[in-house]
Amino acid sequence: MEKTFRELGLSEPLLRALRDEGYTEPTPIQAQAIPLVLAGRDLIGVAQTGTGKTAAFAMPIIQILSGSDRRATKWGALCLILTPTRELAAQIGDSFKAYGRHERLKHAVVFGGVGQNPQVRLLSRGTDVLIATPGRLLDLMEQGFVKLDGVEILVLDEADRMLDMGFIRDVKRIIATLPKKRQTLFFSATMPSEVVRLSREILTNPKEVSVAPSATTVELVDQKVYFVQRDDKFELLKQILRGNAHGGKVLVFARTKHNADRIARNLVRENIPAEAIHGNKSQGARTAALSAFRSGKSRVVIATDLAARGIDVDGITHVINFELPNEPETYVHRIGRTARAGASGAAVSFCDLDETIYLHDIEKLTRQKMAVDEKHQYHSQKAQDAKKELEAGRTPHGVSPPHRRQGGNRGGGRFHGGGQRNRGHYRR
């Protein structure tokens, strides 16, 4: 029998907030992490977005800080949470607001891409929980607007993403200024060697908890592949959006910002309202697009992997891989955007001849064969045959995957940068 939130040791005000949120039972990462964090332990949590990991650290932190009489002084903070993207920072801020609604803690969120003055005003009063992206935080530190010598709890969120995005040096510079005596919580979806090294540097005698989102997500999501020629992908997308995905909330993945924009533009031209979300958009435009998606006002969002990383939108019914990722782990991240917190969802992947090798890599990772939908007018027999050749251990003719990772460091390392560098795969 799973433990209840009460049995994990959460206090009455938090239990009330959880009831308000409608959470009835802890997710596996919460069940494992909450008692350890409450006991003051350092922690490595191997879990990705969608597993409930934000609440797994936010709830016990709220309880610890509310129960102590220490308060942050001017420009100071008691808890620092570092996270790679502005969206994640904002969402973590929202979580603290929701779970802490019956306590009186102050939290502040700082990230780049917006004016710093309102953030400086918030910081000037001191804040119990400071949630920040590394670049903006360093900027503010250098100007003397933040003092981190009172930090008692540090959370490093999505450490592997920090690495991919080139933030590790900034993160290390920030951590170097914190008191050595503190509680540190470290979260990462994957543990490539550089992330393991970092964890060894900054944690003391940590407990490790890990949940297997890959397996659970993969099992919960109804997955299908459509073999299709590259030039027919757009028509197929239209057909799906007007057919079985009609009325749902759809997240479409493209490999580049450029392609995301182009797909969105072409859909709008076909009277299918759609918006692209990626790093080149202003913060205002991203926030507006996300809240329209969240409220259901817009149904179709086209995103790149980096931008989608922080999208926490409930009720996504379909994930469509317009282009398959060259990293099989990325596929698992993508389909995890649907089937959140135990709901079920559908993932549809378009696979052209050159992508058959990616599909093969994905199936090896998930240890599942994807169902093939051949009953559509754009079916490419050539791509399907190439996939069969790969399965038989032969090299199919005419397949030249544009961005296949070198070296096949499955499970160990992730790719280092370059995810957004490739262009022009999809032409219309």
Rule CB under 6 A: is residue 136 a binding residue for ligand AMP?
Answer: no
Cβ neighbours of 74 (radius 10 Å)? 9
Residues 6+ apart with CB under 8 A from 340: 50, 312, 314, 316
Looking at 25-33, 102-110, 147-155, 237-245, which segment touches ligand AMP (CB under 6 A)?
25-33
C-beta of 336 vs 419, nearer to ligand AMP:
336
Of the residues 17, 26, 309, 345, which one makes contact with ligand AMP according to CB under 6 A? 26
Cβ neighbours, 10 Å, residue 216: 17
**Nearest approach, Cβ of residue 340 and ligand AMP (Å):** 5
The nearer residue to ligand AMP, 255 or 337, going by C-beta atoms, is 337
Binding mask 293-332 for ligand AMP (x = CB under 6 A): -------------------x-x------------------
Closest among 49, 368, 378 to 222, alpha carbons compared: 368
CA 100 → CA 170, 231, 425, distances in Å? Answer: 29, 50, 46
What per-residue string of b and e applies to 217-245 under the rule 16 or more CB within 10 Å gives b? bbebbebebbbbebebbbebbebbbeeeb
Q: Which is nearer to ligand AMP, 30 or 380 (CB)?
A: 30
Residues 6 or more apart whose CB falls under 8 angstroms from that of 79 comprise 61, 65, 128, 129, 130, 151, 152, 153, 154, 155
Minimum CB distance to ligand AMP smaller for 49 or for 83:
49
Residue 280 tokens read as 């080149």
Handedness of CA 172, 178, 182, 185 (dihedral sign): negative
The answer to whether residue 249 forms part of the interface with ligand AMP (CB under 6 A) is no
For ligand AMP, which residue of 51, 190, 259, 356 counts as binding (CB under 6 A)? 51
Is residue 69 close enough to count as binding ligand AMP by CB under 6 A?
Answer: no
Q: Considering the complex, state which of residue 34 and residue 123 has its C-beta at the smaller distance from ligand AMP.
A: 34
Q: Which stretch binds ligand AMP (CB under 6 A): 48-56, 79-87, 167-175, 401-409?
A: 48-56
52 binds ligand AMP per the rule CB under 6 A: yes
Note whether 343 binds ligand AMP by CB under 6 A.
no
Among 54, 133, 256, 259, contact with ligand AMP (rule: CB under 6 A)? 54
In the block, tokens 């209840």 appear at 4
Residue type, 46: V
Which of 28, 45, 50, 93 forms a contact with ligand AMP (CB under 6 A)? 50
Asked whether the beta carbons of 250 and 238 are under 8 A apart, the reply is no
The site for ligand AMP (CB under 6 A) is made up of 23, 26-27, 30, 49-55, 312, 314, 340-341
